[in-house]
């Protein structure tokens, strides 16, 4: 059986874990997986463009688990009462090919994007950063604000959006957090003035210049989150020319990120190299740093692993008969026979791969050897007959 994490389930899980702890745990898991970067099969996402938006598939594997995410981006959807971004994802066992988890990823994507922004800001922003400008106050803005407030010490955020109702909603939602000071601004230039960190997270599918060179101050760190497909940018190219630019996966970001405006040999550094300590993040206090964030499949892999682990720990989610469980694995036709189908539905496979055999002997023991980035971190080992639940 496959475990299902629908939106009500994930919402309940976040409440039980606590939003702050959930974001921190997710950031830790993503960080640990970035440190395993060479183990992952990497490729740019598979993209289908249309006049109104984009639909993408984001696959990756570490050889033990496989994951993909389906996600869209349709900026015109809110005018029709629909979300700009919706997503779902699958986590599967590589050895058998069986899906372990089918999960909503709309809310989860907002959480993982905030977690990655947190990791980048920790590595690239000046120590002691306290003030952030948040340009674009849409559906992901609250998560960005709280992640850096709780876990980086940001205590003042200036806000700007072309839609004042979005800013008003954001301020209402963050009102229960009095230690976070919020100040709406009439322009981007006003919002970014004096900021330590600037996060741009706008949705328009076009080449935009949300930030221009005259707005930039020495020592700023920019989390450029909104530009994530060809023809969609937020930063003036002259900003990139003067900055230390960090990306997730260079072949993908060259096509989709802010650096699509730059020559193919413009210098960039991949985030995993910074997080591993192989290269420095910020080199001096007055340096301008840019995290050109487009979203990469490894981050969704980490998210699905973390959700799967937390569902098991908290006893949430339900089993979904997504793939057949047959007494005779070759007798798929039996599912068309009402009498025989009743006997084969809902039964778990007896064998789920040799890699689980050792785990079957220790199903009551906590896996203390797993690292935070491992899918099995913090979970109880399951016997082979139950490993695909």
Any domain includes 25: no
Predicted pLDDT at 15:
97
pLDDT of residue 207: 75
Q: How far apart are CA 288 and CA 217, in angstroms?
A: 8
| 189 plus 273 within the same structural domain | yes
Cβ(147)–Cβ(180) under 8 Å? Answer: no
Query: Domain for residue 195, yes or no?
Result: yes
In angstroms, the CA 72 to CA 26 distance is 22
Give CA–CA dist 132/194, Å, rounded.
Answer: 9
Q: Which domain holds residue 342?
A: 324-386
Residue that has been written with the tokens 């971004």 in this structure: 85
Do 277 and 332 reside in the same domain of the chain? Answer: no
Give dist(CA 68, CA 300) in Å, integer.
7
Residues 287 and 329 in one domain: no
pLDDT at res. 68: 98
- Same domain flag for 130 and 276: yes
**Residue at token pair 């072309």:** 162
- Asked if residue 102 is part of any domain, the answer here is no
- Full 3-state SS string of the chain: CEEEECHHHHHHHHHHHCHHHHHHHHHHHHHHHHCCHHHCECCCCEEEEECCEEEEEEEEECCCEEEEEEEEECCCHHHHCCCCCCEEEEEEECCCCCEEEEEECHHHHHHHHHHHHHHHHHHHCCCCCCEEEEECCCCCHHHHHHHHHHHHCCCEEEEECCCHHHHHHHHHHHCCCCCCEEEECCCHHHHHCCCCEEEECCCCCCEEEEECHHHCCCCCEEEECCCCECCEEEECHHHHHCCEEEECCHHHHHHHCHHHHCCCCCCCEEHHHHHCCCCCCCCCCCCCEEEECCCCHHHHHHHHHHHHHHHHHHCCCEEECCCCCCCCCCCHHHHHCHHHHHHHCCCCCCCCCHHHHHHHCCCCCECCCCCCCCCCCCCECCCHHHCCC
Q: Counting beta carbons within 10 angstroms of the beta carbon of residue 221, is it exposed (0 to 12), middle (13 to 18) or buried (19 or more)?
A: buried
> pLDDT value at position 205?
59
Residues 198/223, Cβ–Cβ less than 8 Å: yes
Give yes or no: residues 256 and 374 share one domain. no
The domain that contains 278 carries what CATH number? 3.40.50.720
Same domain as 252, residue 155: yes
Which residues of the chain fall short of a pLDDT of 70? 204-206, 341-389
The total number of structural domains in the chain stands at 2
Residue 233 near residue 268, CB atoms below 8 Å = no
75: in domain: no
Q: Is the dihedral of CA 177, 180, 181, 186 positive or negative?
A: negative
Give CA torsion, residues 140, 143, 148, 151, to 10 deg. -150
Rounded-to-integer distance, Cα 251 and Cα 256, Å: 9
Residue 341, pLDDT score: 62
80 alpha-carbon distance from chain centroid: 26
Alpha-carbon gap, residue 293 to 272, rounded angstroms:
13
280 & 378 share domain = no
Give the pLDDT score at 344. 53
d(CA 70, CA 53): 14
Distance of CA 360 to the CA centre of its chain: 32
Nearest-5° angle of CA 130, CA 198, CA 145? 65
351 within domain boundaries: yes
| Domain's final residue, options 295, 315, 342 | 295
| 365 and 255 within one domain | no
Q: How far is CA 371 from CA 66, 115, 375, in A?
A: 18, 18, 9
Torsion-angle region of residue 61: left (phi > 0), alpha (psi -120 to 50) or beta?
A: beta
Classify residue 6: in a domain, yes or no. no
Residues 218, 338 within the same domain? no
Query: Rounded distance, CA 118 to CA 137, Å?
Result: 17
User: Do 147 and 240 lie in a common domain?
Assistant: yes
Residue 352 in contact with residue 387, Cβ under 8 Å?
yes
Distance CA 109, CA 294 (A): 12
Domain shared by 152 and 287, yes or no: yes
Instruction: Identify whether 11 is part of a domain.
Output: no
**Under a CB-based contact definition with an 8 Å cutoff, are residues 199 and 144 in contact?**
yes
Residues 164 and 263 in one domain: yes
Catalytic residue list: 228
* Residue 212 within any structural domain of the chain: yes
């Amino acid at each position: 059986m496959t475990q299902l994490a629908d939106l009500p389930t994930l919402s309940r899980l976040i409440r039980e874990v606590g939003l702050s702890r959930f974001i921190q745990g997710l950031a830790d898991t993503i960080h640990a997986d970035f440190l395993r970067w060479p183990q992952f099969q990497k490729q740019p996402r598979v993209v289908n463009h249309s006049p109104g938006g984009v639909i993408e598939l984001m696959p990756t594997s570490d050889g033990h688990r496989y994951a993909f995410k389906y996600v869209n981006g349709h900026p015109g959807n809110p005018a029709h009462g629909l979300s700009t971004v919706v997503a779902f994802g699958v986590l599967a066992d590589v050895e058998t090919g069986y899906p372990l988890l089918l999960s909503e990823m709309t809310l989860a994507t907002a959480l993982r994007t905030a977690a990655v922004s947190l990791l980048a800001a920790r590595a690239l922003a000046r120590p002691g950063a306290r003030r952030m400008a948040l340009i674009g106050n849409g559906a992901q803005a609250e998560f960005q604000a709280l992640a850096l407030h709780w876990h980086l010490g940001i205590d003042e955020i200036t806000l700007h959006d072309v839609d004042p109702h979005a800013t008003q909603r954001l301020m209402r939602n963050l009102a229960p957090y009095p230690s976070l000071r919020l100040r709406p601004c009439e322009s981007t230039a006003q919002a970014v003035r004096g900021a330590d960190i600037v996060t741009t997270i706008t949705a328009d599918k076009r080449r935009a210049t949300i930030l221009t060179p005259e707005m930039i101050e020495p020592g700023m760190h920019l989390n450029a989150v909104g530009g994530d497909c060809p023809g969609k940018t937020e930063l003036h190219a002259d900003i990139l020319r003067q900055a230390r630019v960090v990306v997730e996966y260079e072949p993908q970001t060259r096509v989709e990120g802010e650096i699509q405006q730059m020559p193919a040999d413009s210098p960039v550094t991949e985030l995993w190299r910074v997080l591993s300590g192989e290269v420095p993040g910020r080199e001096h206090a007055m340096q301008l740093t840019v995290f050109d964030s487009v979203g990469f499949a490894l981050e969704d892999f980490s998210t699905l692993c973390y959700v799967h682990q937390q569902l098991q720990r908290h006893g949430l989610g339900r089993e979904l008969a997504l793939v057949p469980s047959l007494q005779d694995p070759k007798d798929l036709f039996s599912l068309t026979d009402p009498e025989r189908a009743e006997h084969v539905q809902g039964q778990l496979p007896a064998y789920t791969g040799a890699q689980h055999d050792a785990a079957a002997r220790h199903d009551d023991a906590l896996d203390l050897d797993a690292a935070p980035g491992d899918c099995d971190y913090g979970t109880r080992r399951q016997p082979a007959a139950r490993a695909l639940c």
